[in-house]
Amino acid sequence: MQGSTGEEVPQNLSEDLIEDVRLAASKMSGAKRRAFLAEMTLKYCAGNARRAETVFGWGRETVEVGLGERRTGLVCYGAQRGRSGRRRWEHERPEAAAALVRLAEAHGQQDPSFRSSLAYTRLTAKQAITALRAQGFEQEVPGPSGMAKVLNRLGYRLRKVVKAKPQKKIAQTDAIFENIKKKINKRSIRARLHD
């Protein structure tokens, strides 16, 4: 049997096995995938990255990195994780973020049940944008949906402030009201006697 470039494929590999190994490799990523590629290259291609490229269709550079990781025991990490994506607004503009926190604290309220550390705020995203622009942060302010996300990341939930709810009726409630009625009756009797 010959591979896609005409190179001889090892005898112990059937087309089904090659497809299964390709499928397994496609389900992995990163260091796990490279370790798998290295193992299969050692097992079926005698450690030859070019042959693994021919037989399995993998990039030989990736296979070589996997073989090197296996040989040294050191895992290679790419810089794309640390340098990819956009930095968050709070990190790019710390002065504006500090002003936003002060503003949200002024409009905030702790959860009445004290069950969580989340603070609720009456401050809407539009109000926050207007207030920050009034403080001189013209260019640094995101749009309304972005500001709502920033407030959520900072721990402020954009909800109406919950009023303190009265407790439900407890077993002693009737007894308490009876005592109050008795005291009121005693006072009214004393007031009539003194008149």
Per-residue model confidence as pLDDT tens digits over 134-186: 998 888 788 889 988 888 888 777 665 556 666 677 777 778 888 888 888 87
- Whether residues 64 and 98 fall in one domain: no
**103 and 145 co-located in one domain:** yes
- Residue 20 belongs to some domain of the structure: yes
Contact 25, 33 (CB under 8 A): yes
pLDDT digits (tens, 9 = 90+) for 18-31: 999 999 999 998 88
* 182 located within any domain: no
Query: CA quadruple 7, 11, 14, 17: dihedral positive or negative?
Result: negative
Beta bridge mates, 8: 2
Q: How far apart are CA 131 and CA 125, in angstroms?
A: 10
DSSP class of residue 109 equals: E
SS3 content of the chain, % helix, strand, coil (to 5): 60, 5, 35
Q: Show the tokens assigned to 24.
A: 């397994």
Domain match, 99 and 38 both: no
Q: Which helix (H) or strand (E) holds 65?
A: helix 60-72
The range of the structural domain enclosing residue 141 comes to: 89-158
Structural domains in the chain (count): 2
pTM of the model: 0.42
